[in-house]
Amino acid sequence: MPRTVAGLRNEIALAALGTGMWFVLAGQLAALAWLVPDQARAMAVGLGTELAFGREAGIPAGLAAGLHPLLMWETSVVQDFATAFLGYPVFLYLLHRFRDKDVYLMRRLRRIEQQAQEHERFVHRWGPLGIGLFMLIPFLVNGPFVALILGRLTGIHTRQLLAPVVLATVLVAGAWTFALDAMLRLADTFDERLGYWAAALAVLAVAVAGIVDFVREHRAARA
């Protein structure tokens, strides 16, 4: 879909909003470091792990490090929005400018676009509501970043996307946070070290899956 002047304005506004959210996270981390250092360290663990490996690894890592579930929920939501809103315009620019480049980053971006395209029919049927429903399905690549791409592919205006994307992100992050917090607390009743090991295994599983995916994609590109 071609980029219009109105579309470019929306993308710039999203990038500015995403940048502002990163400043919010940085300010929150600095305030916690001053007032509650233990929570600041735990937030840094959760935020860094989520950036590297995604929500499924970041949330248990942050909770195991001692971050309060409400803070973990808020951190995950704001990070998701900050990354999506700032990354979406960059994604569109790179895909428009370097689509035919055969490097890992562009292969990855094209793959994200393909993953979004696989769900176009569902969203065409349900419209903006379909975006929200798609994001609620667990264990899919369906965060706000992919949802924005899917909305663009199906011709849904960015303003129409914001409400379902925000609501779904808040609900999904909350469900993951409080479900995992309950599981880690249950594990701690058997052995206080069990929660740490469970979180570490979750991070390791996601990291190994990412490495395997990278190797397979690299081999496929070489072939």
Dist. CA 66–CA 72, nearest whole Å? 10
Per-residue pLDDT tens digits for 112-136 = 777 777 777 777 777 788 888 888 8
Complete DSSP assignment for the chain: -PPPHHHHHHHHHHHHHHHHHHHHHHHHHHHHHHH-HHHHHHHHHHHHHHHHH-HHHHHHHHHHTT--HHHHHHHHHHHHHHHHHHHHHHHHHHHHHHTT--SHHHHHHHHHHHHHHTTHHHHHHHTHHHHHHHHHSTTSS-SHHHHHHHHHHTT--HHHHHHHHHHHHHHHHHHHHHHHHHHHHHHHHH-TTHHHHHHHHHHHHHHHHHHHHHHHHHHHHH-
The pLDDT assigned to 156 comes to 79
pLDDT above 70: residue 51: yes
- Give 31-45 pLDDT, tens digit per residue: 999 999 999 999 999
State the pLDDT at residue 223: 62
Q: Using a pLDDT cut of 70, give the percent of the chain over it.
A: 91
Domain positions in the chain: 5-222
Which of 109-113, 171-175, 218-222 holds the top average pLDDT?
Answer: 171-175
- Average pLDDT along the chain: 83
On whether the CB atoms of residues 188 and 195 are closer than 8 A, the answer is yes
Q: pTM for the complete prediction?
A: 0.83
Examine the pLDDT at 2 and tell me if it is beyond 70. no
Confidence of residue 90 (pLDDT cuts 50, 70, 90): confident
pLDDT digits (tens, 9 = 90+) for 166-207: 999 999 999 999 999 998 888 888 877 877 787 888 788 877
Please give the Cα distance from 115 to 136 (Å, whole number).
16
